[in-house]
Amino acid sequence: MKIDHSLPLEYSTEENRLKVLGFWIFLGAEIMLFATLFASYFTLVDRTGNGPSGAEIFEITPVLIETVVLLTSSFTIGLAVHAMRLGNKKAMLSFFAVTLLLGAGFLAVEISEFVHYVHIGAGIQTSAFTSILLTTLGTHGAHVTLGFFWGLSIMLQVAKRGLTPETANKSFIFSLYWHFLDVVWIFIFSFIYLKGMM
Amino acid sequence: MDFFHRFAVPHPNPAIYASMVAIGLTVIAIVAGLTYFKKWGYLWREWLTTVDHKRIGIMYLISALLMLFRGGADALMMRAQLAVPENTLLDAQHYNEIFTTHGVVMILFMAMPFIMALMNFVVPLQIGARDVAFPRLNALSFWLFFMGAMLFNISFVVGGSPDAGWTSYFPLAGNEFSQSVGTNYYMISIQIAGIGTLMTGINFMTTILKMRAPGMTLMKMPMFTWSALIANVIIVFAFPVLTVALAMGTMDRLFGTHFFTTNNGGMDMLWANLFWVWGHPEVYILILPAFGIYSEVISTFARRNLYGYKSMVASMVIISLLSFLVWAHHFFTMGQGAVANSIFSITTMAIAVPTGVKIFNWLFTLWKGKIEITTPMLYALLFIPLFTIGGVTGVMLGMSAADYQYHNTMFLVAHFHMVIIPGVVFAMLAGLTYYWPKMFGFMLNEKIGKLAAWIIAVSTLLAFMPMFFSGLDGQARRMYTYSEATGFGPWNMVALVGALGLAAGFVLIVYNIYYSTRYASRDISSDPWDARTLEWATHTPVPAYNFAVVPQVNSIEALWDAKKKGHVLFKGKYEKIHMPNSSGVPFIMGVIFFIWGFAFVFAIWPLVILSTIGIFACMAHRSFEKDHGHYISVEQIEEIEGTETKLRGAN
């Protein structure tokens, strides 16, 4: 495997460059996936049947907590990649750990939010609106959950194998994924929660 | 008993029982044969675990041909049922199941893998690459497609086939009107195959964008590679829409959500929209690579460079953009209003412009060419007039006002068969014949091949031209019978003759494969067609690493200019080559996906959870695995390169 030392570690081999581009294309597909969910959400948002509307069930406090936690985690994963480029494995792992902890915090709040929705009679079977709401939020949440375990396995590999072109590549791609989830959340926050509460 | 009752076929008939017996006997024969000839190890090592794009391509090809006959059997049953008025060969339910599975099998499990077969085999060779960007992902893509197809195919012997049409419109496809597990099969098997296709799209986009031989700029890529690139871009943007739609449909059926229901706010038209936002681009995923094949074949056998290369590329880009803007023409008559209809009518008809540009480019290529009529060329020449019939009737259907007359009649059925058969199927058969020597080291018999081409072309006309007329007279599609007073009888009888002719043509192709395998000369050069692009610069059969030395490209037709203008393709000496290792994980993951899909269809939740864990375990295994592939040494390369004729089996 030829390593080009003039480039950052995550771009340093041919295989790494292929993987980064491939992942960007994958994110293109993910954009389409969430765009479809949003389009369906906008179509079904007012079709509440006998169930409640968004204005009746949304609460600002947990949503604000989720937003702050997730945005911060996007910042810390950026710091982790920065530490990685400086070659500081310990700092990188610490920022990675903070990121995943924040991700877990986000998930905890989201799960309690879902339990609350089901409790007040806004489950996934209630109406078209609740179906698409919980599916859209749930798809994002499932992505965060997957990211949590994925990130964990990358941390283990970095801890065990050190910063190699391979682990650096994985970490960098993970950071792209994590930023992407944050961007999707900004849309969820703006167009589902804020718009729904207005 | 209740548990097992679900697996019973809800509408059994003798044909299904006969199929069960046939499937059982075939499985026993395959297992016995593999054991008797001691081929299990060979099968596992050389095929099931392979990550070689050429072998994956061949596996796609075999699957596609198998599915062609499955879908073809459905077609024959349909035409036989409709051949005479008031026929009772099939009942309404059975007919519904057959036209549903015919559509799904032919589009998703025949045409798609056929495209994938040629793309997998040809694209890396054509761009001078040693492999695709992600070889193991490529193997996984194939196994997901294959398992999805198998899951779909067992539906008619376990639990019942889907019967809501290949479009699976809600509320017809909802629990209320489709009570058997058939539609579950539809949702889940297409989902599994679709994930595989999406990964292929990502893989080939990366491959084409990043792995071209030095000197091959985007505007020097061969036309088939261009068409594959555009098709893959469409895949990446269209398939996620299908993923979401199928997930919602599955949830409606299994979890009681209200996306497409008719109560509690659900909206059945949302399904129609999402389905066609994917479904319309899907037809261009099929047709663009087919156009790419025709471009290769026509310029090779007209002995002339392709006329209007740049306009060919531009027209494909325009088609790919327009393909996303026309989906609502599939429901002009479902009450969306005059403004929407007009907009979608205009975008639909606009696609005829870039398509026409391509047709004229092929004609101009032929114009001053020295045409040599080989079997692939014959398909290409027959394609032009037949496809034009399909295309022109497409413009007729695209006029929303006139569509109120045509919609839901056999006119539409005739239109899309006249587009897809000459467009996609002819192209795939041309590609099959054209690339056969590169794949297997011998040529298919030209005489039988041409006869088959003529039979298929004439039969296509016989089978589908009558439907234009009976359709204009008002014969509705999806109706399992009609009365004698309608006068549709003779038209449908002619169509049956055409369908039988098509079947004969395909059987003749199989015979040709058998005949040529036995009798064709193995002593062919690596470039038997005197072709123009890089895939013919490799040895035959192609070594695992494709090119011993990476080629240097200076022009669009690299090999032709090497032959005629003395460009040097291969500079420098052999160096050791890095290649990926084979892996059983993609196959195993495919099997787990199959189990997952089956469990999901029948809502066996413990098994769903178990197999989901299995899928993630495979992913984790991959993440932690240290697999850096292996090197092929210079000595090995010299040995392989020196024994080309021996490898071919020629004396």
Does residue A151 belong to the interface with chain B, where contact is any CB pair within 8 Å?
Answer: no
Token representation of residue B317: 């880009």
Which of these ranges, A174-188, B233-247, B498-512, B622-636, has the smallest mean pLDDT? Answer: B622-636
pLDDT band at residue B1 under the 50/70/90 scheme: low
- Distance from the Cα of A89 to chain B's closest Cα (Å) equals 19
Q: Name which of B104-108, B133-137, B403-407 the model is least confident about.
A: B403-407
CA distance linking residue B598 with residue A99, whole number of Å: 37
Q: Residue B579: helix, strand or coil by DSSP?
A: strand
Q: How confident is the model at residue B518 (pLDDT cuts 50, 70, 90)?
A: very high
B451 to chain A, any CB pair closer than 8 A? The answer is no
Which residues from B are below 8 Å from A128, CB to CB?
258-259, 261, 264-267
Give the pLDDT confidence score for residue A10 in this predicted structure. 86
Contact indicator for B490, B536 with CB cutoff of 8 Å: no
Q: Are B320 and B235 in contact (CB under 8 A)?
A: no
User: Is pLDDT above 80 for B643?
Assistant: no
Does pLDDT of B628 surpass 90? Answer: no
Element (H, E) at B577: strand B577-579
Asked if the C-beta of B38 comes within 8 angstroms of chain A's C-beta atoms, the answer is no
Residue among B136, B202, B615 with most chain A CBs within 10 A, to mutate: B202
B504 and chain A: CB distance < 8 Å anywhere? no
Instruction: Please state, in angstroms and rounded to a whole number, the distance separating the CA atoms of residues B194 and B116.
Output: 13
Which position has the higher pLDDT, B650 or B643? Answer: B643
Q: According to the model, what pLDDT value does residue B648 have? A: 44
CA atoms within 13 A on the CB side of B478: 15
> Would you tell me how many other CB atoms lie within 10 Å of the CB of residue B81?
21
Q: Do A32 and B133 touch (CB under 8 A)?
A: no
Q: Report whether B154 contacts B210 (CB < 8 A).
A: no
- CB-nearest partner of A40 from B202, B237, B270: B270
> Does the pLDDT of residue A98 top 70, yes or no?
yes
At B176-206, the pLDDT tens digits run 999 999 999 999 999 999 999 999 999 999 9
- How far A29 CA sits from the closest chain B CA (Å)? 5
CA-CA distance, B481 to B464, in Å (whole number)?
18
Percent of chain B surpassing pLDDT 70: 98
| B646: pLDDT strictly greater than 80 | no
- Written as one string, the DSSP assignment of B463-520 is HHHHHHHHHHTTPBTT-S---GGG--HHHHHHHHHHHHHHHHHHHHHHHHHHHHHHHS
Q: Which long-range contacts (CB under 8 A, 24 or more apart) does B565-573 make?
A: B569/B534, B569/B537, B570/B537, B573/B549
* Min distance A44 CA to chain B CA atoms (Å): 7
Q: Residue B651: its pLDDT value, please?
A: 36
H or E segment at A133?
helix A128-161
- Residues of A with Cβ-Cβ distance to B264 under 8 angstroms: 49-51, 126-128
Contact A135 B257 (CB under 8 A): yes
| pLDDT, averaged across chain B | 93
Phi and psi, residue B579, nearest 5°: -130, 150
Q: Does the beta-carbon distance from A18 to B133 stay under 8 Å?
A: yes
The token pair at B220 is 């020097």
What is the per-residue pLDDT across B225-281, written as a single tens digit (0 to 9) for each? 999 999 999 999 999 999 999 999 999 999 999 999 998 999 999 999 999 999 999
The residue in chain A having the minimum alpha-carbon distance to the alpha carbon of residue B625 is A157
pLDDT tens digit sequence for A106-165: 999 999 999 999 999 999 999 999 999 999 999 999 999 999 999 999 999 999 999 999
Higher per-residue pLDDT: B477 or A1: B477
| pLDDT over threshold 70, residue B210 | yes
Confidence of residue B571 (pLDDT cuts 50, 70, 90): confident
Residue labelled with tokens 């098709």: B231
Q: Looking at the predicted structure, is the pLDDT value of residue B650 above 70?
A: no
Q: Is the pLDDT of residue B644 over 70?
A: no
Is pLDDT at B647 greater than 70 in this prediction?
no
pLDDT band at B87 (very low <50, low <70, confident <90, very high): very high
What are the pLDDT digits (tens) for B291-346?
A: 999 999 999 999 999 999 999 999 999 999 999 999 999 999 988 889 999 999 99
Is residue B586's pLDDT more than 70? yes
Instruction: Tell me whether A24 touches chain B (CB under 8 Å).
Output: no
Specify the long-range contacts of residues A120-126, CB closer than 8 Å, at least 24 apart. Answer: A120/A52, A120/A57, A121/A51, A121/A52, A122/A51, A122/A52, A122/A57, A124/B251, A124/B255, A124/B256, A124/B257, A125/B255, A125/B256, A125/B257, A125/B258, A126/A49, A126/A50, A126/A51, A126/A52, A126/B258, A126/B264
Least confident of B141-150, B275-284, B424-433, B557-566: B557-566
Mutate which of A15, A32, A140 to disrupt the B interface (most B C-beta within 10 Å)?
Answer: A32
The answer to whether B214 contacts chain A (CB < 8 Å) is no
pLDDT surpassing 70 at residue B433:
yes
pLDDT-derived band at B649, boundaries 50, 70, 90: very low
Q: Give chain B positions within 8 Å (CB) of A29.
A: 198, 201-202, 236-237, 239-240
At residue A47 the predicted structure's pLDDT band, cuts being 50, 70 and 90, is very high
Above 80 in pLDDT, residue B141?
yes
**For residue B476, pLDDT beyond 90:** yes
Range A9-47+59-197 classified under CATH 3.30.70.3450: no
Q: Does B39 touch chain A (CB under 8 A)?
A: no
Q: Scanning every residue of chain A, which has its alpha carbon at the shortest distance from the alpha carbon of B260?
A: A128
Q: What residues does each domain of chain A span?
A: 9-47+59-197
**Would you place residue A74 in the very low, low, confident or very high pLDDT band (cuts 50, 70, 90)?**
very high
Whether residue A135 and residue B241 make contact (CB cut-off 8 A), yes or no, is no
pTM exceeds 0.90, yes or no: yes
Whether B288 and B277 have beta carbons less than 8 Å apart is answered as no
- The nearest alpha carbon in chain B to A46 belongs to B265
Q: Which phi-psi region, left, alpha or beta, contains residue B308 (left: φ > 0; alpha: ψ -120 to 50)?
A: left
Residue type, B432: L
